[in-house]
Structure 1
Amino acid sequence: MNTINHAPVMLVTGSAKRIGAAIIRTAHQQGYRVIIHANSSAQQAQSLADALNNKCPDSARLLIANLTVINTKASLQAFVDDIIAAFGQIDVLVHNASRFYPTPFGDIDDEQWDELFLSNAKAPLLLSQALLPYLQAQQGCIISLLDIHAHDKPFNGYSVYNMAKAAQRTMVQSLALELAPLVRVNGVAPGVNILPETDSDQALDQAQQNRIISSIPMRRIGTPEDIAQSVLYLAKASYITGQIISVDGGRSLTLAGGSY
């Protein structure tokens, strides 16, 4: 008997690399079949799927789509059809895809608003709604990747991102009420669990990194695996809903807002 055909299925949006890929790998190690979603990182997503399928045949599927598909009913339904076609079910939906960049007040425009709210609030809400019948059938769960800055400690200069993540946090709590008892909804709020890529315009030098480390009670930068372990815990914690776990090494206890 091939038990992989009976394993639960997890979809992680934005999971070609970094935290999303860590969640996928951890879920796969724990016996899940996984759906890797990507938009602009198709090559990395394919490499990840190939590596997982080499370990366990037919255990990982790839889905390439821009999350703007949620803007029309037809394209959203086609996206949902593709998700369900992968393995015939979905047990865990993880909202990880997120745009993140500064929006200094005075220069905010509609494009920034639309992009940041789509990835961090609108897509999680509408995708959850579209997949609800399938999640209910499995008595599954939804897990959102949030941010410790989305609650009372906003990033300075990132007001639109802060607002979008705060909306997603409220979505977690609202849907936990609406979808109980069949579907649980929780969140994981990272602190500094991954640094900006070294070739990005938000890369941090060593002095900046040292300042961050000194502000963290655990005295280290977190890892994507720290986040992944918490996501997998919530995926299996059958009596937890409406909760948000901060995975930040204690930084939210000392953080006064501001930037990194």
Structure 2
Amino acid sequence: MNELDQKADKTLQDNTAVMLVTGGAKRIGAAIIKAAHDKGYRVIIHCHRSQQRAERLAKALNSIRADSASVVVADLALVNNQAELNDFVQHVIEPFGQLDVLVHNASRFYPTPIGSIDNPQWDELMLTNAKAPLLLSQALLPYLQVQQGCIVSLLDIHAYDKPFSGYTVYNMAKAAQRTMVQSLALELAPDVRVNGVAPGVNILPDANSDQALDQAQQDNIVRSIPMQRIGTPEDIAQSVLFLIEALYITGHIINIDGGRSLTLAGD
């Protein structure tokens, strides 16, 4: 590449939108990162315990397009400390000098049956699903406003009307995040749009996890979905990108569940 081409490439990169995805190293988060990068976005991959996977993903994306992906490692409990939160914001902005899109994907999910709920469970589920998304949105808002950007939250079909039995704290936390989406959509318009995506069964628990499903359970779930298949992380990523690029949509939440919410009772 000659010097003129290098300058043109640098100018193009400087005008390219930047997206931060929390929990972006694997599963749905990684699918969003890859889909955005394919569309030309520069991407910031946030991770906590998955740094090696985040670094591998960034390396792969940078091999496709130089200086287009960055990694930031942080425990989102940093929102409880203003100095740490300020440092996180600087680490996010430093690689590319701007932020156009914030995607709240990082989340903890596990059952909290009544009679066993304790304060650490409450604190962790509320932090990752409600408190951190709100305080990160607030901290990064000045940069989003400059770019007339947007925020997208990953929610859950169980966060509205059809709670997931045995997951009361998670349901409450996601319901709070859903209300955050609608509240911020009102408060931040017209400068920043805020929307949500509510997955159904778009990814199964890891086979070696304590929530792994056997084949009979998986077959039962598929039968309950009108589209007759488990969704994919790519289905979610496609919808996130749609909301990012739909400039007259704010305060909207799209169910990406193959129609399951039409037939589902909380279970």
Do Structure 1 and Structure 2 share a fold, with TM-score over 0.5?
yes
2: CA distance, partners of 1:253 / 1:11: 32
Aligned to 1:159: 168
Alpha-carbon displacement from aligned partner over 1:118-141 (angstroms, at most 9, x marks no partner): 000000000000011100000000
Calculate the TM-score normalised by the size of structure 1.
0.99
Could you list the per-position Cα deviations for residues 193-245 of structure 1 after superposition, in whole angstroms to 9, with x for gaps in the alignment?
00000010000000000000000000000000000000000011100000000
Give the unaligned 5+ runs of structure 2.
Answer: 1-7
SS state of the match for residue 155, structure 1?
coil
Residue correspondence of structure 1 range 134-213 to structure 2 within 5 A: 134-213=143-222
Following superposition, the deviation at residue 4 of structure 1 comes to 2.1
- The question of 1:52 aligning with 2:61 is answered yes
Residue identity in the other structure for 1:94: V
1:65 aligns with 2:42: no
Deviation at 1:68, TM superposition (A): 0.7
Query: What does residue 265 of structure 2 align with?
Result: 256
Distance 1:4 1:205 in 2: 46
Query: Aligned residue for 2:248?
Result: 239
Partner of 1:86: 95
Corresponding residue for residue 30 of structure 2: 21
- Deviation of 1:48 after TM superposition, in Å, equals 0.3
Aligned length: 258
In the alignment, structure 1 residue 76 sits paired with structure 2 residue 85 = yes
The CA distance in 1 between the partners of 2:156 and 2:62, in whole Å, is 32
Distance 2:193 2:57 in 1: 28
Report the alpha carbon displacement of residue 6 of structure 1 after superposing the two structures with TM: 1.6
2-structure distance, mates of 1:106, 1:129? 35
- Supply the distance in 2 between the matched residues of 1:17 and 1:5 (Cα, whole angstroms): 27
Partner of 1:125: 134
Q: What does 1:85-124 correspond to in 2, within 5 Å?
A: 85-124=94-133
Runs of 4+ in 1 over 2 A off after TM superposition: none
Deviations 1:84-143 (A, max 9, x none): 102100000000000000001011010000000000000000000001110000000000
Q: Distance in 2 between matches of 1:73 and 1:41?
A: 24
Coordinate RMSD, CA, aligned: 0.4
**For 1:88 and 1:236, how far apart are their aligned partners in 2?**
21
Residue type of the partner of 1:253? L
Partners of 1:116 and 1:7 in 2: CA distance? 34
Larger Rg: 2
1:108 is aligned with what amino acid?
A: I
Partner of 2:50: 41
Identity %: 72
Query: Structure 2: how far apart are the matches of 1:57 and 1:132?
Result: 27
| TM-score, structure 2 normalization | 0.96
3-state SS of 1:245 partner: strand
Q: CA offsets, 1:38-89, max 9 Å, x none?
A: 0000110011000000000000000000001100110000000111102100
Unmatched runs of 5 consecutive residues or more in structure 1: none
Give the Cα separation in 2 of the matches to 1:206 and 1:7.
44
Distance (whole Å) between structure 2 residues aligned to residue 86 and residue 192 of structure 1: 35
